[in-house]
Structure 1
Amino acid sequence: MAVPGAAPSGQSADDRDEELKRLRKLTAEQAKTIEILKKATAFFAKESDR
């Protein structure tokens, strides 16, 4: 049985760290995209009320 948080067999700690870094960057980019979309939604909702 796999241990949660442990590297899968064949994956080094460096590989795991790189993957974590990549996923954190992706998460930050997606959070920015979500904020932009929220602002755009609010803008267009306000514009449609006119």
Structure 2
Amino acid sequence: MIVKDWCSYCGCCAGVCARNCIEVKETALVISDDCNDCGICVKACPLAALELEE
């Protein structure tokens, strides 16, 4: 899940995604259905703007 108020769209999450599931746009992150919820992007986010949904 993306916390849009915190996200700066820096691309750190997309840079660490081994499956290339994250596309960074000007004011949006698009996470594809290929995401396997590994959590690497959550750990890479310097602003804690990503969370895994339960």
Task: Bin the TM-score by the shorter chain.
Answer: under 0.3
Give the helix-richer structure, 1 or 2: 1
Give the strand-richer structure, 1 or 2: 2
* TM norm structure 1: 0.21
Q: Whose Rg is larger?
A: 1
Between 1 and 2, higher relative CO (CA 8 Å, sep ≥ 6) is seen in 2
* TM norm structure 2: 0.20
